[in-house]
Amino acid sequence: MTRLDLKPGDIYLTKGTSLISRGIRYFSTSHGEARTEANHVGLVTAAGTEKSATIVEALTRVKRRRMSAYSNSTSNQVAIYRPINVTPEQIETIVARAEQYVGDKYGYLKIVAHLADWCLGGRYVFRRIAAMDNYPICSWVVSQSYADAGLNFGVPAGAASPDDIMDFCTSHPEKYMTVHAMGLL
């Protein structure tokens, strides 16, 4: 594989094989929509290769680590998208906001809110109620970071799922370029 040069603001999405990963994909697929490809999303916050770039993601806490966590995986597929036509100031805002979440506890209640909204046909009801900024989930970190820079993924920031983010990136090539299509790194 060709070495990837990742930049701050790049969005990566993953497709895992665990039961939880498959459940997230199932419950984030809208009624009548094609099967969801991504169950997790995060941001590149410092440039590097697919092994050395620094990422921020929400796991049990929001963490900063190396992209090598995914480049060494044989089970997690990864897609990477880069925003285009954005200013250096917007990238700085996105990265700064993502970094502010580092150390925050994971927002498990937001996962329940996503499930409850899925039961209502995807309406943005319970996710709006559970909009607790101090308890982020992966898609919250990415969507709120981009919202601070005046950017969105076609849905309210608090309603975005990894699937919404991936769908927006793939359907808007004038805004996002594909750095790496879904597959192993």
Q: Which domain holds residue 128?
A: 5-183
Query: Which pLDDT score is estimated for 146?
Result: 98
| Tens digits of residue pLDDT in 76-112 | 899 999 999 999 999 999 999 999 999 999 988 777 7
Please state the domain count of the chain.
1
| CATH number for the domain that contains residue 139 | 3.90.1720.10
For residue 62, pLDDT over 70 is answered with yes
Q: Using the Cα atoms of residue 112, residue 172, residue 14 and residue 22 in order, give the sign of their dihedral.
A: positive
pLDDT the model gives residue 50: 95
Instruction: Please name the residues in contact with 50: beta carbons below 8 A apart, sequence gap of 6 or more.
Output: 3, 4, 6, 67, 68, 70, 71, 180, 185
**Per-residue model confidence as pLDDT tens digits over 143-153:** 999 999 999 99
What pTM did the predictor assign? 0.88
Q: List pLDDT tens digits, range 113-136.
A: 767 877 888 787 877 777 666 789
Give pLDDT tens digits for 11-45.
999 997 777 766 676 666 665 667 778 989 999 99
Average the pLDDT over each of 1-15, 18-32, 46-60 and give the range with the smallest value.
18-32
Half-sphere CA count of 175, side-chain side, radius 13 A = 14
Task: Give mean pLDDT, residues 2-9.
Answer: 93
